[in-house]
Structure 1
Amino acid sequence: MLKGLLAKLGDAYVVTMLVDDSHDVLRLRAVVRITAWTGTLTNPEAKLCIIPGLLPVGRTG
């Protein structure tokens, strides 16, 4: 069973693409805007997630 957020192809729009290289390894990144989705937001590595204004789980300051 899939966990997390799921979006239909028609609800995903590529905003921009970035191509660069590091140590002769070509990298391609995409920024995608999702306008509608189903599911529940999950984060299997919550301790690594930092959102400005919020503290990760288990941290008090």
Structure 2
Amino acid sequence: MRGTDDESKRAAATCKRCSEIGVVKVWPDGRLRPLGRSNFCDCDSPTLEVFESDLDHELP
């Protein structure tokens, strides 16, 4: 991941349980947080996986 430790990135991700696709904020420590809503999908415990590992796009 590029940037400083305080920067978050955004990436496309999928829930491995239901295959829902959305955009997440990725923190330097690896935490993922859905953008635009509190839950990524309707799963009780979503297992999110980022599509790309080289995150170039910085959040404003």
Give the TM-score band, short-chain normalised: under 0.3
Determine which structure has more spread, i.e. the larger CA radius of gyration.
1
Q: TM-score, normalised by structure 2?
A: 0.25
Of structures 1 and 2, the one scoring higher in RCO (CA 8 A, sep 6+) is 2
TM-score, scaled to structure 1 = 0.24
Higher strand share: 1
More helix by share: 1
